[in-house]
Amino acid sequence: MNQLQVVKSEMFNGVSCDFYRNENGEVFMTALQLSESLGYASKGSFDSLISRNEYVKDGEFSATCKLQAPDGKQYETRIFSEDGIYEVSMLAKTKVAKDFRAFVRKTLKALRKGEIVLVEPQTVDAELEIKRMRAEAMLNNSRTKQAKLILDMQKNKTLSPIAVELLQVNALEVLSDQAIDYRPEVEKSYTATDIGTELGISPQKVGSIANKHNLKTNEYGYFALDKSPYSNKQVESFRYYEKGREKIQDILKGDIG
């Protein structure tokens, strides 16, 4: 059972869910696929469920086979049969378990009736496929967390409606991993670096003046999301309208005078 064939790939609750057939035509899923589809935060939590219900390791529900990994070594991998998929999803207490059972039942029924098109049979190394899915799941989780952090910034009471809309666009770009052309119309704005370069002071000095004179308001600019110069993370920054730029310039002239 080292070689598996993907016969159907479907999305369930944002998770890529692949159905395989072995050489006997039996439909099954890997433990990793089942864990992610049922909404477990980690493979360890899923493994704990299996350990508490040892009977699902019986041949009726699952089996293990030696699969070759990219390092050339053989590893034991657990495969769940159709009965095993239903049994484990009945044991799972996750919020999506019931919906997942309905999804599997509907998909497999359609497969048997020939109502849905099969994926072109392709031979794959099961362990390689597992690693691919794990990497994809980690990437999706990372994007989701980053998008949530961005949307959480909307709770900042000082944000203008335009800034909130920009945050929503940024979050959507992170989730889809695609650039979005749309941007809300805003008047010309300047970063602290732009103003600092023009006035011969540091961006930190610009920010200090703005904080001291309470300029970080909707009247003088708006909060936006920029890439941090020190990492790949996005950080909140203030963009100044022309009025804000002129105000800082006037304050600076007054201090000098």
Query: What is the spatial distance between Cα 24 and Cα 11, in angstroms, rounded to a whole number?
Result: 25
Q: Which distant-in-sequence residues (6+ apart) come within 8 Å of 53 by Cβ?
A: 91
Query: What is the spatial distance between Cα 212 and Cα 204, in angstroms, rounded to a whole number?
Result: 12
Extract the tokens encoding 125: 């190394």
Q: Which of 30, 36, 9, 32 is nearest to 97 (CA)?
A: 36
Output the tens digit of pLDDT for each of the chain's 257 residues. Answer: 546 677 777 888 888 787 877 777 788 888 888 898 998 878 888 888 999 999 999 988 998 876 555 566 666 778 898 999 999 999 998 889 999 999 999 888 887 777 655 555 444 455 555 555 556 656 556 556 665 655 665 565 555 666 666 666 666 666 666 666 665 656 688 889 999 999 999 999 999 999 999 998 888 888 776 655 555 566 678 889 999 999 999 998 876 54
Measured in residues, the chain has a length of 257
Show me where the domains of the chain are located.
Answer: 3-144, 156-256
Q: What is the pLDDT of residue 257?
A: 45
Q: What is the pLDDT of residue 121?
A: 46
Extract the tokens encoding 74: 């053989």
Q: Where are the alpha helices (DSSP H) in the chain?
A: 31-37, 43-52, 82-91, 97-113, 126-152, 161-176, 192-199, 203-212, 242-256
Q: Give the phi and the psi of residue 224 in degrees, each rounded to 5.
A: -135, 180
Q: What is the pLDDT of residue 244?
A: 93
Query: What is the spatial distance between Cα 89 and Cα 36, in angstroms, rounded to a whole number?
Result: 12
